[in-house]
Chains A and B, each alone.
Chain A
């Protein structure tokens, strides 16, 4: 088996999220819901503080619920994070 060398500057997942602070992030939840907002901060459980949030719900033909201000998103149901993502096609 070829030996695999560890790249010393490899990026940890939470580091990637940390880099995203200040920019837009697209959050995909376990159910048919997605959230796009500006990442203000997060914690070890990946609960996230987002600003200027737009909520997208699939199944209802791309129903959109726009919220302003800041939200604390519970990390429990987050599936995937896309830094700089614009969200689903409306």
Chain B
């Protein structure tokens, strides 16, 4: 593809992104609108996710805290890093 000649290739494909974010604090939003914030333990190509120190937010309100959480990938709307 034409991207090979680009020296400043800032392109980041999903698989690369996933490798980079393991171990980082993330926000996982589900299709239902529920929000989970925690540290990403691992994930796979189906977007199945394992989180540590998870907080569950519903309508912006903290609802629950879980030590470990497993989220099935079909429910995931997006995964976001949260540097702030």
| A residues adjacent to B (C-beta < 8 A) | 18, 21-22, 29, 31, 35, 40-43, 47-49, 53, 67-74, 76-77
Whether A74 lies near B78 (C-beta < 8 A) is yes
Whether B81 lies near A69 (C-beta < 8 A) is yes
Which label, helix, strand, loop or mixed, suits the secondary structure of the B interface?
A: mixed
From B10, B77, B78, B82, contact of A40 by CB (8 A): B10
| B residues adjacent to A (C-beta < 8 A) | 1, 10-18, 27, 31, 47, 74, 76-84
From B14, B47, B76, B83, contact of A49 by CB (8 A): B14
Whether B31 lies near A41 (C-beta < 8 A) is no
Whether A72 lies near B18 (C-beta < 8 A) is yes
- Tally inter-chain residue pairs, CB-CB below 8 A: 64
From A18, A29, A53, contact of B80 by CB (8 A): A53
A18 to B3, CA, bound (A): 10
Of all A-B residue pairs in the complex, the 5 with the closest CB atoms, nearest first, are A71-B80, A41-B13, A40-B12, A69-B81, A41-B12
Known: A22-B10, A77-B31. A72 touches B17 (CB 8 A): yes
Q: Chain A nearest CB: distance from B83 CB in Å?
A: 5
Q: Chain A nearest CB: distance from B72 CB in Å?
A: 12
Whether B77 lies near A73 (C-beta < 8 A) is yes
A–B Cβ pairs within 8 angstroms, 22 of them: A18-B1, A22-B10, A41-B11, A41-B13, A42-B13, A42-B14, A43-B13, A43-B14, A43-B15, A49-B13, A53-B80, A67-B80, A67-B82, A68-B83, A70-B80, A71-B78, A72-B18, A72-B47, A72-B78, A73-B77, A77-B31, A77-B77
